[in-house]
Structure 1
Amino acid sequence: MTNKLLVAIVQSAPVPLAIDHGIKQVCALIEKAAARGADVIAFGETFLGGYPIWLDEAPGAALWDHPGSKALHGILMEQAITVGDSRLVPLQKLVDQTKACVSIGAHERVRSSLYNNQILFRPNSEPLNHRKLVPTHGERLIWNRGDGSTLNVHQAQWGTVGNLICWEHWMPLARAAMHNLGEDVHVSAWPTVRETYAIASRHYAFEGGCHVLAAGTLLHRDDLLDGLELAGGNAEALALFHEIPDQQLQFGGSMIIAPDGEILAEASDRDEILLAEIDLQAGLEAKAALDTDGHYSRADVFELNVNTSENLGVNWRD
């Protein structure tokens, strides 16, 4: 097992809504990061399909029966990935070839519900899903809640990698569960890594004694218009997008963080591949002072039970 890894965050603007075009873009970006030697490559929240920024920026988006919001939901349903989606085969092949682990956010459809899924692609293995446990505020208009069946990590040859999404980093018990799984590298996926989000990511690194890739994305209102056109267009959705200011909406701010909370590399608000070499030994040494899953856990006082069953709602039995 090697102690040194090169990790990367791909900070770029996604192709909103149009998943097929987004997958081609992602494959090209993975190739660029892998060509620079990256062993782990992270993308931000719902990079495939783009973050539903209209919930925050369009004044009427949350109104009951809003035609633009309904139209966009329909497009997301049509475009979203599904379990075993053949459109992801080129991405998996690329991961198999490069041997890099890739964490990327996506809109996923299960039956008639959408989920915010941070997918961990790993070489020569099935991808791991992590569906966001609690959609934040207005996101509940779009996404269903995930369950404990997708709280997981990947055991690579060099160590363990996992991910959480956005405000899950303020769920103390979710953090405790992930720390128990022994992450060496953690992907912290955000739309933009704002100041408070950077604090949460650095706190996670220190609390978990692991390296954190806080991955943000970029987005301009024009990207929404372009993506809508690529997805086939829709007059109601277009009208809603024109309620959004014609300006930059997501600002990157990605950073790679050491187990002591130090920022090893930090991106600006521009398109870039952020790289850093990390030393996994630093995570082991950090446990000497603080091991929140071990000598700092007080297992005789506190106990956490995690339900990892899949909650289907309807169970058909013979």
Structure 2
Amino acid sequence: MEVKVAVVQDSPAIFDLENTLEKVEKLTKEAASEGAKLILFPEAFVSSYPKSLKFGTVVGNRTEEGREVWLKYVKSSVQVPGPATDRLASIAAGNSIYLVIGVIERDTISNGTLYCTILYFSPAGKLLGKHRKLKPTAGERMVWGEGSGDTLSTFDTSIGKIGGLICWENYMPLARMAMYNKGVEIYLAPTADHRDTWVASMQHIAREGRCFVLSCNQFVKATDYPEDILHLEGIKELPDIVTTGGSVIVSPLGKIIAGPLFNEAGILYATLDLEDIIRSKLEFDVIGHYSRDDVFNFDVPSQPDTVKE
């Protein structure tokens, strides 16, 4: 089976939930018009990856101005389920596509803890499930809570088994193995890492997992930040281009088939032949003839079963 996919590299309307959702709708419509059946958006696209923001926080001290910036960030986050997820589901259904998108999720009970999350929507407009980032990296720990194993989700869909990890979770060997063990065929890796080394990591994962890998990042300029935070320490020192992108699509043998795209907004497309996954396993199958289950024991007690669409 062949399926056309798309990865979106662009900037959200930072701290602006409604305008970000408008942009998601516009970009989804554009990619769907080109025949894409699966569309991936970057990490934290709704409604921003808070690069260089300090939220007035250092070890042992916070500021009132920082709390106000935090409030803006929380207000631009989404509850799952909620009005924003209903809107995203409608966008998926309206374009008859699988939509996978990075959001900042707000806890529905406390209303004050945020998670870096991927949401999965079907062409029928159903929220299939989510994955919360297991371990925020470095300064991310200041603003995001930790996810748990019960959102290491995979989905058996009409276009293949899909699932993935967020940004530097992809450097966690056991997290990757949790995806491989579910037979993931289209591995999704939304990120905020725009270094050249990231592309090499995506090629490694494709070869290791014998799966297609789709990775996408934001393309953000300093002028994309709201004017009322441009004076903040960390923001006023930003270069003209804050995040250069680096979105890429890789085959199961580690060959780059689209991208990497740097220094501009855009959408990458590729048509995936899922039989290439079988072809690639001639000499290596990480959960088959190369697994050595007689030597190694691997278990994720809280990982959910693969969801059948």
| TM-score, length basis structure 1 | 0.88
TM-aligned CA deviation for residue 145 of structure 1: 0.3
Give the alignment of 1:177-192 within 5 angstroms.
177-192=178-193
Give 1:195 deviation, angstroms: 1.5
RMSD: 2.0
Deviation at residue 309 of structure 1 after TM alignment: 6.9
Deviates more, 1:71-80 or 1:154-163: 71-80
Structure 1 counterpart of 2:119: 119
Pairwise CA distance, 1:193:
3.4
By how many angstroms is 1:104 displaced? 0.9
Residue 128 of structure 1 is matched in structure 2 by: 129
Equivalenced residues, count:
298
Residues 165-244 of structure 1 aligned to structure 2 (within 5 Å): 165-225=166-226, 238-240=231-233, 242-244=235-237
Contact 1:256–1:264, Cα closer than 8 Å, also in 2: yes
Cα deviation per residue 1:36-72 (whole Å; 9 max; x = unaligned)?
00011111110111111024xx697646314443222
Tell me, in whole angstroms, the C-alpha distance in 2 between the residues paired with 1:274 and 1:113: 33
Corresponding position of 1:69:
66
Rounded to whole Å, the distance in 2 between the matches of 1:127 and 1:71 is: 34
Q: Which residue of 2 is the match for residue 303 of structure 1?
A: 297
In the TM superposition, residue 223 of structure 1 has moved relative to its aligned partner by: 0.8
Of 283, 291, 294, which aligns to 1:289?
Answer: 283
Q: Distance in 2 between matches of 1:238 and 1:308?
A: 44
Query: Can you give the 5+ residue segments of structure 2 that lack an aligned partner in the other structure?
Result: 305-309
Structure 1 residues 1-318: aligned runs within 5 Å: 3-55=1-53, 62=58, 64-110=61-107, 111=110, 112-124=112-124, 125-225=126-226, 238-240=231-233, 242-266=235-259, 267-308=261-302
* Residues 263-285 of structure 1: per-residue CA shift (max 9 Å, x gap): 00102321111111111111111
Structure 1 unaligned blocks of 5 or more: 227-232, 311-318
Deviation at 1:188, TM superposition (A): 0.8
Q: Deviations over 1:208-233 (max 9, x none)?
A: 1111111111111111125xxxxxx5
**TM-score, normalization by structure 2:** 0.90
Question: Which portions of structure 1, spanning 4 or more consecutive aligned residues, are displaced by more than 6 angstroms?
Answer: none
Find the residue that maps to 1:254 and give its secondary structure.
Answer: strand
Alignment deviations for residues 176-219 of structure 1 (CA, whole Å, 9 cap, x no partner): 01001111111111124321211211111111111111111111
Counterpart CA distance in 2 for 1:166 and 1:87 is 23
User: How many percent of aligned residue pairs carry the same amino acid?
Assistant: 31
- Tell me how far 1:294 sits from its aligned partner: 1.6
Query: Is this contact kept in 2: 1:17–1:76, CA < 8 A?
Result: yes
Q: Which has the higher helix share?
A: 1
